[in-house]
Amino acid sequence: MSKSKEDKRIARKKRVRKKIKGTTVKPRLCVYRSLNFTYAQLISDDSGTVLVSASTRDVGAENVSRRSVEGAKLLGAKIAELAKEKDLLEVVFDRNGYPYHGRVAAVAEGAREGGLQF
């Protein structure tokens, strides 16, 4: 019996999560993408809490689609801005089982340009 695309993504996610862990000082930047929006969260695995979150729903710019790569790059800049407000400069990037391509890579690029280090 073959696995669905989502089942394969979850298997990749579990495999990667064995190796990376977010702390309060260096949280995990987790990216999730749905068909319409892209979401990003800074998570502390020590306490199991979300420190900062944003989505392309919140980052609505003129003439930029919320499901586009440009919207995802704006999301990365927004999450970096929110992280700086909480004095978080270093993160661990968690692509959540998705390929590092398109919107996922754009969030990372926007976060780096916003000043986050990973």
The residues spanned by each domain of the chain are 5-113
- Give the model confidence (pLDDT) of 41-99 as tens digits: 999 999 999 999 999 998 776 778 888 999 999 999 999 999 999 999 999 999 999 99
For the entire predicted model, the pTM comes to 0.89
Task: Single out the residue of 82, 75, 93, 88 nearest to residue 37, CA to CA.
Answer: 75
Question: Where is 31: in which H helix or E strand?
Answer: strand 28-33
The class of domain 5-113 in CATH terms is alpha beta
